[in-house]
Amino acid sequence: MKLEPLLTRFDELADAPERIPALRKVILAYLLHAAVNSSDAITRAATLREAHEVRRRELFKSASRKAVQIVPDVTDEDLPPSLSDIPPALFDRLGNVTSIEKGLSQIQRTKPGNYPLVVTAEARSSSDSFDFEGAATIIPLVSSTGHGDASLKRLHYQEGRYAVGNILAVVKPICPDSLRARFIYEYLSAFKEELLVSRMVGTANVSLTVNKLKEVPVPMVSGPVLSRIDELMALCDRLEAQQQERETRHAALARAALARFAEAPTPANLQFLFHPSYSISPADLRKSILTLAVQGKLVPQDPNDEPAQAAVAKIEKEREQLIATKQFRRSQLPGPIGEGPFDIPETWVWMHLGNAMLNVTDGFHSTPKIVESGVRYVTAKHVKPGLIDFDSCLYVSEDDFKEIASKTRPRRGDVLVVNIGAGSGLASIIEADFEFAFKNVAILNRSEAVDSKFLFNYLVFKRDDIFEEQTRGGAQPFLSLGLIRQIPFPLPPLAEQRRIVVKVQQLVALVDALEIQLAASRAIAAKLLDAIPLKGFSRYSS
């Protein structure tokens, strides 16, 4: 395989910026194999190793033996799988060709100043003094993801004068004219999982040691290959810079595009939002659709619709029947709402959710006895986004079910809302015709004047924007029935509710379809790299 066809499709990678590290790895693997295929590869590597040995001997005279100790030769077992077909004779150990020192700065105690302070984060801090000078690869010695997990998110390349945190190692070539620090950085970054993460040790505090770093195999390449690597890595650098600039520019375009959609939320304008120039996520679009829906901006109002006040009267009439039969207490109703949190059409009405529902209640307050068969028992874990997982439910007895059945019975079209735990605020419409018991979820008994899907869409919108702020309980979030009843709810005429539901379904389905197209486009760029083997390349010709 040749590298040039890949480079001619460079622009396609703009749709998959996260793949640039993979591109760097492909380039390095290709060019390293190209060096192997050179007729004088072994001779060149031997010459480089001899030059490093001479330099080490010179350092023995002026530095401690520990800093320049010789590490044994590389074997087949030391090489990463993607480079395993390269002869070990073309490699040396990192400890033989570089100096490796731990950083000297205690990061939290370092005084800010004019010199960069390299830390584990991508951005540099600053220091009032410097401890190192000259180009170097800087490697974190601690896991990026913390307790018990071996990982390295990034390495650093640094030039000039700088300080380094004491949880990082500074790797500088001892013969920088023949083995450049930038090459070492690119090589170790591309193969960091195989070369560095695999050498991390420890169970709780996973880390790298300087001695483990010294064992890492480094290819002995020079001349045209290094120059070509520099050229192509610079190309990758420019691609990353262009993508960052594009993201900044597209943020402004995205705001303008969303404003256009808000003014005219049509399928045509939704497709316009998916133009490659706008970095708008499908999640943002779904949220925008729901926002327009609950604000009365998604479909036009129809003066022939029965007004929302008529729906309010129906709800109150149905509730009076529940009060008369002692299935509901008037004291549970919230007071008047006043103004809502945003403007709605004149034909709509703001209500507290507790007044818009026939009842808002919960299930068991203590854990019932589980039996082999009986009435299905739904808990918070069974409520998924938009559905209830009845298949994994356990069962309670008929007698235990009667305890909560006296308060309420779930009906098709009612809505469950998780009110305790991490899923607080998660809602689902009841589509089942059978009865079931429940705990740690609230049930919203719905009047026929409220469309169940409109209510569900509003609860999805509300959870994103408000539910998380209203939950109480720290480590165990809790949405009390009182809080749920106090949630402001915009009630449109019933006919408009149904038009809104149809429009939301239409637009969300379009988002889903466009999202699949977007994912397919990005997958092409990803497959372009994933399909390339990292060994067995054909000979490279410059």
Name, in order, each residue with C-beta under 8 angstroms of 219's C-beta and a sequence gap of 6 or more: 32, 35, 45, 83, 86, 90, 91, 187
Minimum mean pLDDT range among 99-113, 162-176, 316-330, 334-348 = 316-330
Query: Is a pLDDT exceeding 90 seen at residue 58?
Result: no
Q: What is the CA radius of gyration of the chain?
A: 32
- What confidence score (pLDDT) does residue 152 get? 92
Minimum mean pLDDT range among 91-105, 386-400, 504-518 = 504-518
- What confidence score (pLDDT) does residue 395 get? 94
- What confidence score (pLDDT) does residue 417 get? 93
- The rounded mean pLDDT for the chain is 82
Query: Is a pLDDT exceeding 90 seen at residue 491?
Result: yes
- What confidence score (pLDDT) does residue 1 get? 45
Long-range contacts of 74-80 (CB under 8 A, 24+ apart): 74/217, 78/215, 78/217, 79/217, 80/191, 80/194, 80/195
- Picking from 498, 488, 506, the residue whose alpha carbon sits closest to that of residue 451 is 498
363 neighbors 343 (Cβ within 8 angstroms): no
pLDDT tens column, 207-260: 999 999 999 999 888 777 777 888 888 877 877 776 666 666 555 555 556 666
H/E stretch holding 485 reads helix 481-486
What is the arithmetic mean of pLDDT over 414-430?
A: 89
Higher pLDDT among residues 461 and 514, named by residue: 461
Q: How far apart are CA 243 and CA 231, in angstroms?
A: 19
Minimum mean pLDDT range among 79-88, 236-245, 485-494 = 236-245
Calculate the alpha carbon distances from 276 to 107, 244, 391, 452 in Å: 41, 15, 42, 36
Higher pLDDT among residues 446 and 324, named by residue: 446
Calculate the alpha carbon distances from 415 to 89, 347, 357, 410, 451 in Å: 69, 25, 10, 8, 11
What is the arithmetic mean of pLDDT over 259-270?
A: 66
What is the arithmetic mean of pLDDT over 436-449?
A: 92
- 467 pLDDT tier (thresholds 50, 70, 90): low
What is the arithmetic mean of pLDDT over 351-377?
A: 91
In the chain, % of residues over pLDDT 90: 40
- What confidence score (pLDDT) does residue 541 get? 38
Task: For each of the domains in the chain, give its residue range(s) and CATH number, in order of start.
Answer: 38-222 (3.90.220.20), 308-492 (3.90.220.20)
pLDDT tens column, 502-534: 999 988 888 887 777 767 766 655 555 554 555
Minimum mean pLDDT range among 297-306, 451-460, 516-525 = 516-525
Q: How far apart are CA 81 and CA 183, in angstroms?
A: 20
What is the arithmetic mean of pLDDT over 289-302?
A: 90
Query: Is a pLDDT exceeding 90 seen at residue 427?
Result: yes
What pTM does this model have? 0.56
What is the arithmetic mean of pLDDT over 34-42?
A: 73
What is the arithmetic mean of pLDDT over 462-489?
A: 74
- What confidence score (pLDDT) does residue 454 get? 97
358 neighbors 318 (Cβ within 8 angstroms): yes
Query: Is a pLDDT exceeding 50 seen at residue 538?
Result: no
What is the arithmetic mean of pLDDT over 416-424?
A: 86
| Dihedral (CA of 396, 397, 400, 401) sign | positive
Query: Is a pLDDT exceeding 80 seen at residue 303?
Result: yes
Query: Is a pLDDT exceeding 70 seen at residue 67?
Result: no
What is the arithmetic mean of pLDDT over 495-506?
A: 93
- 119 pLDDT tier (thresholds 50, 70, 90): very high
Q: Where are the beta strands (DSSP E) in 370-414?
A: 370-371, 375-378, 383-384, 387-388, 394-396
Angle between helices 20-36 and 181-190 (to 10 degrees): 110
Minimum mean pLDDT range among 288-297, 462-471, 524-533 = 524-533
pLDDT tens column, 162-196: 999 999 999 999 998 888 899 999 999 989 999 99
